[in-house]
Structure 1
Amino acid sequence: MCAAGARATGSAERPPTVRQFTDGQICLTMSKIVSMRGLLTSSIGATCATALALPLTLTATPATAATATAAAASEAAASPGSTRSLPLTPLTPERVLGTAPVQGLYRPDGEHFSLVGVVWDDPDTALRGRVQVRTRSATTGKWSGWQDVEVHNADHGADPGTAERGAPRVRGATAPLWVGDAEGVDVRVRADGAAAGARGSRAAGPRRPRVPLPSGLRLQLVDPGGQAPPEGALPKGMPVDDPHTDLDTDAARAASNANTDVTDYGALEIPALGKRATEEELIRLKGPVKGKPHIGARPRIVTRRGWGADEEVREGGFIYTKKIKAVFVHHTASGNKYTCAEAPSVIRSIYRYHVDSMGWRDIGYNFLVDKCGTIYEGRAGGVAKAVLGAHTLGFNNSSMGVAVIGTYGTAKPPKAALTAIAKLSAWKLGLYGVNPRGKTYLTSAGGNLYAKGKKVRLNVISGHRDGFATECPGDRLYAKLGTARSSAARYQGR
């Protein structure tokens, strides 16, 4: 089902076929596919078993593979981006146990993508199990090792009871995983309890009760489109060859116009300001300030046009909250294998995953920060305004979400990213007269930590896990939030 304003993003015409391999594995050739908001449906339904997978291996000759790779790269450079949604199919016991050879379906035209994830029908159903993926590089033709995809992602999203949360297109989903330029994929989803007691082995112990997998499991392959700047270059403007950064639609013009209170119409970035100029801007935006203004100097922010957002992907219009009282810090859980030059592509991919795959109205975060400390505008509506996001389920009202691109459970967060969080918080909280080192009260809209209607006392700069029982933003990043609070307060002159 598509909501009003949804658009078709592509289609292909060939009848679907099913092949049975010698090991009993069922693979699906997706052919007759219709895409609505980037989600493709097939006449062949998907069923759930202990484990599911959709392998797409390539066995072309070197010349054929090179030709396909060159074609995919050329298409990516000119493409505005796309999302492919493919149903997962049941695996045989042999494949589940990993004793059979890896087999798949040869696709001569490849599947160009850079980010993967798995979605399912009901956003209120948890995927209790393990999702692993390996991908085939479009550059080298080599397969990666198996990587785990974070399955605990329900803690992100719009608040319960809101129109965005209740939209029929909203789905459950894993976190997205950035895999780089790829054209082949092999994914397996295994339910909790499925491996114990395998083949009735006494040594393995009794089989635990099998936890059913959610219905409607589908693999998402996201192509960010465009072309990243040269390796090692910090993103200074819009990505090369991205045709969707032009202000040629009402949605693009509206998104750019929302920032004209702080920059020129059509700007690729909002330039940094000095402390004095920022204080003058505060008075212009909010009126006279009693006493000394406490606000950090405005940092440089790459706009949505700057990172190449296709504004036709999201829902039209903007939704605002009355004020900003708190900042929730996140990590995207998309992995750390990206360069700073690739950050705009990562953001375009997450944007499509949030909207096309998960069914949100726009990217969930208000801002994103890459490992080099570059700050990017997230959800549309204006960086200086109180835009309602979908980042901390239960506490999106009167807050903003800042996500560091990467996974920081065990990895050390870069110092540049921590500095960016502090500077961004010092500026944005300063617009609303809030002390980054202070405490505030937010009213829960419902979640797994606090019941709906409960007033909760939180740090002004909090981690996602302070509002919802989750691992986000990762132990290593969460441990640095005290430093971010102190630094932000210092930037405000407190």
Structure 2
Amino acid sequence: MRGFLTSSPGLSPAVASSIGVACAAALALPLALPTPAAAAGRSAHDSAPARPAGTGLPAGAAVPGSTRSLPLVPLTRDRVLGTAPEQGLYRAGVARFSLVGVVWDDPDAELHGRVQVRTRSTVTGKWSGWQDVETHNGEHGADPGTAERTSRHVRGATAPLWVGDSDGVDLRVRADLAGDAGARTGKGGGPWLVLPSGLRLELVDPGQEAPPLGPPADASRTGPDTDEAIATSAANTDITGFGAREIPALSRWATERELARLQGSAWAKPYVGARPKIVTRRGWGADESLRERGFVYTKKVKAAFVHHTASGNKYTCAQSPSVIRGIYRYHVKSMGWRDIGYNFLVDKCGSIYEGRAGGVTKAVLGAHTLGFNSNSMGIAVIGTYGASKPSGAAVTGIARLTAWKLGLFGADPRAKTYLTSGGGNLYPKGKNVRLHVISGHRDGFATDCPGKSLYAKLGTARSSAARYQGR
């Protein structure tokens, strides 16, 4: 990454076999340029007003988030094949948002350029400095040929960037130069590379977290659960109570007993790590009505791919649920995926969060490593770890999670395994590839993810996970 720019147990067959991509109109936030073109009004596809007064919501209920999407406008008179090499938007005094990104029409098109943004804080009223937005360029997503990948709703996108509570934005996208950038003086036309068509700025308000689930008689406060929310909680009832906001940690002995129960045997497979505490989707406040209905599973979990979200490090651990809600909304409403792409997320304090719905003990098909989503899981550390070192707590979180989840499927964190490529930029479709059981994203796809500093810690995660398994 360049830094700038089937069925589920307990569910009806109709629900459990649903496969697809969430139909989402990615909608947008007004941004205005100091040009007449930038004075264009708000997109007609606004998904929801941000934190409106007098919503009529039940007392204490969650305030829904929103996604706004506005087309970028040219910042220069230059044109290459009808596309301006510099595009952007500026607007102050807009509805609040906390996460930004840029999307475009073709998910297979790559953005070769630099994406930068600055935002105005609602707390201080001051503008931030310019921040780079990582371009991603197709390295995440469902495998080629799958229903999720081929949906007409899927778009190309940058990484999302967490900017905190903001009410103003200034964005610029500048195409790379073809060939030697040093040969250009900066005056006149060409040779610019062509930016993807349909560039749009996404402004995401993650909304407020829902209150704790109350008793049925208290539904007037919390609101009734949707079918999707019920199915999501039910997917974890093999190991926790319905509606749990977190799955508690277990000792290794208790974990082995639980695994034996799940396997219907007198004893568990050897070498499973103690189950760590996991914050469920209800715990971080997922709006289950956003995602596609139903769950999709693969056969097993043979490997874990470690990622970073590339969303920046300017978040507190108390904000982690909001960051995840923002990424979830960006993946579904802006990028057109069926759900958040990662199976799990880990924050800088080492807290572990359930990602894609379907049950934390199960082999849920994610959209994290293009070409290698089958029989694997994706773990994203929240933050950007190219130059910044990940915290020891985050690395420990990876180790504890993989010791447990890989142990459920009998995998040794220090070993290597074979996965069949679904098609990507490193390995052609159908190739049997030997990979570390705990791999970095870059091992399966040509990318900088999970960042040089986090990738350097994967050896530590492997050895720690193996030790937690008792190896």
TM-score bracket for the superposition, by shorter chain length: 0.7 to 0.9
Question: Residue 409 of structure 1: CA displacement?
Answer: 0.5
**What CA deviation, in whole Å up to 9, does each residue of 1:73-112 have, x standing for no partner?**
xx99952111001111111359x999xxx995554xx221
Q: Is the 8 A contact 2:309 2:383 kept in 1?
A: yes
Superposed, which structure 2 residues align to 1:177-326 within 5 Å? 177-193=161-177, 196-200=184-188, 209-226=191-208, 248-288=225-265, 293-326=270-303
Residue 16 of structure 2 corresponds to none
Residue 233 of structure 1 corresponds to none
Separation in 2, partners of 1:253, 1:339: 30
Separation in 1, partners of 2:21, 2:387: 42
One of 456, 468, 478 as aligned partner of 2:433? 456
Do structure 1's residue 29 and structure 2's residue 46 form an aligned pair? no
Amino acid at match of 2:313: N
Separation in 2, partners of 1:171, 1:8: 11
Residue 13 of structure 2 corresponds to none
Do structure 1's residue 424 and structure 2's residue 401 form an aligned pair? yes
Separation in 1, partners of 2:334, 2:141: 13
Question: Residue 414 of structure 1: CA displacement?
Answer: 0.4
Q: Is the 8 A contact 2:371 2:421 kept in 1?
A: yes
Superposed, which structure 2 residues align to 1:47-66 within 5 Å? none
In the alignment, structure 2 segments of 5+ residues that lack a partner are 1-19, 79-83, 214-219
- When residues 183 and 191 of structure 1 are mapped into structure 2, their CA distance, relative to the original with a 3 A threshold, is same
Q: Is the 8 A contact 2:250 2:275 kept in 1?
A: yes
Do structure 1's residue 155 and structure 2's residue 139 form an aligned pair? yes
- When residues 88 and 289 of structure 1 are mapped into structure 2, their CA distance, relative to the original with a 3 A threshold, is farther
Do structure 1's residue 83 and structure 2's residue 60 form an aligned pair? no
Q: Is the 8 A contact 2:275 2:401 kept in 1?
A: yes
For the residue of structure 1 that corresponds to 2:108, the secondary structure is coil
- When residues 97 and 305 of structure 1 are mapped into structure 2, their CA distance, relative to the original with a 3 A threshold, is closer
Question: Residue 39 of structure 1: CA displacement?
Answer: 10
Question: Residue 297 of structure 1: CA displacement?
Answer: 0.4
Question: Residue 30 of structure 1: CA displacement?
Answer: 2.1
Do structure 1's residue 130 and structure 2's residue 122 form an aligned pair? no
Do structure 1's residue 361 and structure 2's residue 338 form an aligned pair? yes
Measured on the aligned residues, the alpha-carbon RMSD in Å equals 3.3
Separation in 1, partners of 2:123, 2:236: 38
Separation in 2, partners of 1:347, 1:291: 33
- When residues 363 and 420 of structure 1 are mapped into structure 2, their CA distance, relative to the original with a 3 A threshold, is same
Amino acid at match of 2:161: L
Separation in 1, partners of 2:75, 2:98: 25
Question: Residue 288 of structure 1: CA displacement?
Answer: 2.9
| Equivalences, count | 432
Residue 81 of structure 2 corresponds to none
One of 168, 180, 194 as aligned partner of 2:152? 168
For the residue of structure 2 that corresponds to 1:112, the secondary structure is strand
Separation in 2, partners of 1:20, 1:369: 37
One of 405, 411, 419 as aligned partner of 1:442? 419
In the alignment, structure 1 segments of 5+ residues that lack a partner are 41-67, 201-206, 230-236
Q: Is the 8 A contact 2:22 2:336 kept in 1?
A: no
For the residue of structure 2 that corresponds to 1:198, the secondary structure is coil
Q: Is the 8 A contact 1:286 1:431 kept in 2?
A: no
Amino acid at match of 1:220: E
Question: Residue 456 of structure 1: CA displacement?
Answer: 0.3
For the residue of structure 2 that corresponds to 1:33, the secondary structure is coil
Do structure 1's residue 393 and structure 2's residue 404 form an aligned pair? no
Residue 408 of structure 1 corresponds to 385
Separation in 2, partners of 1:169, 1:39: 19
**What CA deviation, in whole Å up to 9, does each residue of 1:216-255 have, x standing for no partner?**
00000000000599xxxxxxx79xxxx9986610000000
Residue 6 of structure 2 corresponds to none
- When residues 354 and 370 of structure 1 are mapped into structure 2, their CA distance, relative to the original with a 3 A threshold, is same
Question: Residue 69 of structure 1: CA displacement?
Answer: 11
Q: Larger relative contact order (C-alpha < 8 A, sep ≥ 6)?
A: 2
Separation in 2, partners of 1:280, 1:447: 40
**What CA deviation, in whole Å up to 9, does each residue of 1:245-273 have, x standing for no partner?**
86610000000000000100000000001
TM-score (norm 2): 0.85
Separation in 2, partners of 1:303, 1:244: 21
**What CA deviation, in whole Å up to 9, does each residue of 1:121-171 have, x standing for no partner?**
000000000100000101111000110100124110000010000000000
Separation in 1, partners of 2:33, 2:170: 17
Separation in 2, partners of 1:364, 1:125: 19
For the residue of structure 2 that corresponds to 1:294, the secondary structure is coil
Residue 485 of structure 1 corresponds to 462
Separation in 1, partners of 2:27, 2:279: 29
Do structure 1's residue 331 and structure 2's residue 270 form an aligned pair? no
Separation in 2, partners of 1:69, 1:430: 43
Separation in 2, partners of 1:19, 1:370: 34
Question: Residue 26 of structure 1: CA displacement?
Answer: 2.9
Question: Residue 193 of structure 1: CA displacement?
Answer: 1.5
For the residue of structure 2 that corresponds to 1:462, the secondary structure is strand
Percent of pairs identical after alignment? 68
